[in-house]
C-alpha cells in the first residue's frame, strides 16, 4: 500500500523530489496500509483509522502536497489582508491555546505533523495548531486585540458565510432527515476546502467531515457521525468578537471536534460544544439525529445560547441569528430584516423555497435549493451576493455596502439524507453549488483590482454532484 501511495503522490506532483521524503519504518508503513486516498471530481477522500498518532500520521502523509500549498496561500493572504505575518498568528495560537488542546487531539496533531514531515512537508505540532486556529484568531481574537499592534488596525473584511437547511418528518418526501449546506468564503481559501476526511478513532464515534488539509475539525462545518448525527452551521454575521470572545477558554475547533467524536445525541452534542465556550466562531448550528428523526437549531454566542428542536418541519441558516439576545446584544448589524443585504435576502428566499418544497424535500430538491440564484431584492433570477448560491464575484453591490465583484461566495454543495448518514456517505459538489465555473484569467481580466490575489487563486471548473461513499480498507 505504501508504494501505491508514493506512485499516487508522484502523479499528483511530478516535481516531487524523493529525497525530501523520509524512509518509513515498519510501524509507519503498517499505519499507511490501514488508510486510503481517492481523488474524485475535485474532492480528496481520505480515510484514516486507529489511535491518535496513527490516524494523524496517515492523514498528514496523504495530504502533504495540498497542506504545503495551502500554507503558502495562507502566508501570502494573511499578510495581504491583515498586514500581519501568518507566523504571528501561529505564535498566538500556541501561546493562547496549546494548553487547551486535550491530550488525545494533541497526539493526533503531532501525528499529522509527523506524517507531513515524512512526506516532505516539514511541520510541527505548533504549525498544525496554527493552521487549525487561524480562522478563529483572525476573525475573533484579532478584532479584540488589533489596537495593541496598530492604532488603525482592523480585521480583514469578510462576506457572509454559508447557506444551509435541515428538514424532517412531514416536510420531507419520506419522513427522514435531509440536510444541505453550501460554504461561502474567499475563493483563495475555499479552493482548499476539498477534503472529505473519514476518521475511525479507537475511541468515540466515527466521523466524516469536509475539511482543509491539516485541519482536524471540519471548520466549514459539515459533519456526519457514527452516532447518527448530521451537523452543519452558518456563521453568525456581525458578531462582535472584540467583546464576545474569551481567549482563555477552549477554541471552537476543539469543542466541535470533541462534540462530533463523543456526542451520542443532540443534547450531548450541545453540552460538549457549550463546555468552556470561548465565543470563537459563533454559529447557528443545525443538527439532525436519524435515531429519533429530530432536528435542532442551536445558536451559540458567548453570553447567550438558544436551542430549538422539532420532529416535523425545517430550520434554515443564512448567517443572521434568530435569537433576539444574540442578534441585538452580541452583534452589530446582521441584515436580518434588510432584503438588500445578503443575509436578509436569503432569510426571505429560504422561507420561499422551503415552503415551495414542503412535504417533498429530498436529495434532488435540496440540490436545486442550494443552487438557487433568485435575488429577492431584485425580484428576478440573477446571481449575486444575495442569492442562496452566492456570487459575490458577479455582483456590483450597488444596493449594499459589500465590496463589489469580490472573489468570494459559494465554493461547494453537500446534501445528506438519513440513509446517507447511516452509511456515512454524502452527495457533494466541489465548486459553486450551481456548478458555474470560476476561471481566474477571465475574472482578473475583467476585475484587475484583484490582481494581488493572482498567485493564490485557482481555476475551479464545473464539477458534477458526486456520491462519496466509504472507502474499503483491508479490515473492512
HEC assignment per residue over the chain = CHHHHHHHHHHHCCCCCHHHCCCCCHHHHHHHHCCEEEEECCEEEEEEEECHHHHHHHHHHHCHHHHHHHHHHHHHHHHHHHCCCHHHHHHHHHHHHHHHCCHHHHHHHHHHHHHHHHCCCCCCHHHHHHHHHHHHHHHHHHHHHHHHCCCCCCCCCCCCCCEEEEEEHHHECCCCCEEEEECEEEHHHHCCCCEEEEEEECCCCCEEEEECCCCCCCCCCEEEECCCEEEEEEECCCECCCCCCCCCCECHHHHHHHHHHHCCCHHHHHHHHHCCECCCCCEEEEEEECCCCEEEEEEECCCCEEEEEECCEEEEECCCCCCHHHHHHCECCCCCCCCCCHHHHHHHHHHHHHHHHCCCECHHHHHHHHCCCEECCCCEECCCCCCCCCEHHHCCCCCCCCCCCCCEEECEEEEEEHHHHHHCCEEEEECCCCCCCECHHHHHHHCHHHHHHHHHCCCECCCCCEEECCCCCCCC
Based on the domain organization, do 200 and 349 belong to the same domain? Answer: yes
Number of domains in the chain: 2
Cell of 36: 486510503
Within-domain flag for 65: yes
Based on the domain organization, do 189 and 337 belong to the same domain? Answer: yes
Q: What is the pLDDT of residue 3?
A: 57
Neighbours of 425 (CB within 10 A): 19
CATH label of the domain that carries residue 337: 3.60.60.20
Q: What is the pLDDT of residue 347?
A: 97
Gap between the Cα atoms of 266 and 106, Å rounded:
26
Task: Check: CB of residue 195 under 8 Å from CB of residue 208.
Answer: no
Single residue among 83, 114, 148 that ends a domain in this structure = 148
Q: What is the pLDDT of residue 9?
A: 52
Which phi and psi (to 5°) does residue 315 adopt? -125, 155
Low-confidence ranges of the chain (pLDDT < 50): 1, 7, 10-12, 14-19, 156-158, 473-476
HEC assignment per residue over 280-297 = CCCEEEEEEECCCCEEEE
Based on the domain organization, do 90 and 239 belong to the same domain? Answer: no
Within-domain flag for 7: no
Q: What is the pLDDT of residue 303?
A: 95
Based on the domain organization, do 89 and 220 belong to the same domain? Answer: no
Q: What is the pLDDT of residue 434?
A: 98
Q: What is the pLDDT of residue 440?
A: 98
Q: What is the pLDDT of residue 244?
A: 87
Q: What is the pLDDT of residue 366?
A: 98
- Interhelix angle 52-62/103-118, rounded to 10 degrees, is 40
Within-domain flag for 293: yes
Task: Check: CB of residue 24 under 8 Å from CB of residue 31.
Answer: no
Q: What is the dihedral of CA 140, 144, 147, 149, to 10 degrees?
A: -50
Gap between the Cα atoms of 60 and 200, Å rounded:
15
Q: What is the pLDDT of residue 475?
A: 41
**Residue partners of 277: CB distance under 8 A and separation at least 6:** 249, 250, 255, 300, 302, 305
C-alpha separations of 352 from 262, 312, 355, 380 in Å: 36, 18, 5, 14
Single residue among 148, 182, 216 that ends a domain in this structure = 148
Based on the domain organization, do 302 and 386 belong to the same domain? Answer: yes
Task: Check: CB of residue 415 under 8 Å from CB of residue 178.
Answer: yes
Single residue among 100, 124, 148 that ends a domain in this structure = 148
Based on the domain organization, do 143 and 173 belong to the same domain? Answer: no
C-alpha separations of 333 from 169, 268, 341, 343, 371 in Å: 34, 32, 10, 10, 27
Based on the domain organization, do 64 and 180 belong to the same domain? Answer: no
Gap between the Cα atoms of 443 and 450, Å rounded:
9
Based on the domain organization, do 106 and 224 belong to the same domain? Answer: no
Task: Give the range of the structural domain holding residue 184, as residue numbers without chain letter.
Answer: 163-468
**Residue partners of 461: CB distance under 8 A and separation at least 6:** 42, 431, 437
Based on the domain organization, do 178 and 111 belong to the same domain? Answer: no
Q: What is the pLDDT of residue 471?
A: 80
Gap between the Cα atoms of 177 and 77, Å rounded:
39
Based on the domain organization, do 194 and 140 belong to the same domain? Answer: no
Amino acid at each position: 500500500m505504501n508504494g501505491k501511495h508514493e506512485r499516487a503522490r508522484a502523479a499528483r506532483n511530478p516535481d516531487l523530489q524523493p529525497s525530501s521524503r523520509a524512509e518509513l519504518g515498519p510501524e509507519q508503513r503498517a499505519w499507511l496500509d490501514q488508510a486510503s486516498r481517492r481523488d474524485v471530481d475535485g474532492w480528496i477522500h481520505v480515510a484514516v483509522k486507529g489511535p491518535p498518532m496513527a490516524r494523524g500520521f496517515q492523514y498528514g502523509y496523504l495530504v502533504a502536497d495540498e497542506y504545503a500549498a495551502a500554507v503558502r496561500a495562507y502566508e501570502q493572504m494573511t499578510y495581504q489582508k491583515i498586514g500581519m505575518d501568518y507566523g504571528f498568528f501561529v505564535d498566538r495560537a500556541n501561546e493562547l491555546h496549546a494548553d487547551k488542546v486535550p491530550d488525545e487531539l494533541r497526539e493526533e496533531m503531532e501525528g499529522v505533523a509527523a506524517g507531513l514531515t515524512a512526506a516532505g512537508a516539514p511541520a510541527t505540532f505548533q504549525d498544525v495548531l496554527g493552521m487549525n486556529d487561524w480562522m478563529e484568531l483572525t476573525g475573533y481574537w484579532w478584532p479584540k486585540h488589533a489596537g495593541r499592534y496598530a492604532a488603525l488596525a482592523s480585521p480583514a473584511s469578510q462576506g457572509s458565510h454559508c447557506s444551509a437547511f435541515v428538514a424532517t418528518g412531514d416536510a420531507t418526501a419520506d419522513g427522514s432527515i435531509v440536510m444541505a449546506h453550501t460554504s461561502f468564503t474567499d475563493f483563495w481559501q475555499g479552493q482548499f476546502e476539498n477534503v472529505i476526511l473519514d476518521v475511525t478513532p479507537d475511541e468515540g464515534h466515527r466521523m466524516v467531515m469536509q475539511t482543509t488539509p491539516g485541519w482536524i475539525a471540519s471548520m466549514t462545518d459539515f459533519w456526519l457521525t457514527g452516532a447518527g448525527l448530521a451537523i452543519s452551521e452558518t456563521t453568525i454575521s456581525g458578531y462582535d468578537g472584540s467583546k464576545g470572545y474569551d481567549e482563555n477558554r477552549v477554541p471552537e475547533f476543539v469543542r466541535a471536534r470533541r462534540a462530533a467524536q463523543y456526542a451520542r445525541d443532540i443534547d450531548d452534542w450541545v453540552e460538549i460544544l457549550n463546555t468552556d465556550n470561548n465565543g470563537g466562531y459563533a454559529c447557528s448550528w443545525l443538527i439532525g439525529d436519524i435515531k429519533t428523526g429530530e432536528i435542532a437549531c442551536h445558536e451559540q454566542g458567548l453570553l447567550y445560547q438558544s436551542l430549538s428542536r422539532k420532529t416535523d418541519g425545517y430550520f434554515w441558516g443564512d448567517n443572521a441569528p434568530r435569537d433576539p439576545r444574540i442578534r441585538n446584544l452580541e452583534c452589530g448589524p446582521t441584515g436580518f430584516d434588510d432584503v438588500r443585504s445578503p443575509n436578509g435576502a436569503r432569510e426571505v428566499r429560504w422561507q420561499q423555497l422551503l415552503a415551495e418544497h414542503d412535504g417533498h424535500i429530498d436529495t434532488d430538491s435540496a440540490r436545486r435549493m442550494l443552487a438557487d440564484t433568485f435575488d429577492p431584492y431584485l425580484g428576478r433570477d440573477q446571481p449575486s451576493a444575495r442569492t442562496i448560491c452566492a456570487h459575490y464575484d458577479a455582483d456590483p453591490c450597488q444596493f449594499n455596502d459589500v465590496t463589489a465583484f469580490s472573489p468570494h461566495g459559494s465554493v461547494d454543495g453537500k446534501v445528506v439524507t438519513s440513509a446517507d448518514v447511516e452509511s456515512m456517505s454524502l452527495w457533494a459538489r466541489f465548486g459553486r453549488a450551481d456548478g458555474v465555473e470560476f476561471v481566474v484569467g477571465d475574472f482578473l481580466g475583467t476585475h484587475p483590482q484583484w490582481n494581488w490575489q493572482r498567485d493564490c487563486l485557482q481555476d475551479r471548473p464545473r464539477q458534477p454532484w458526486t456520491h462519496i461513499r466509504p472507502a474499503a480498507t483491508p479490515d473492512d
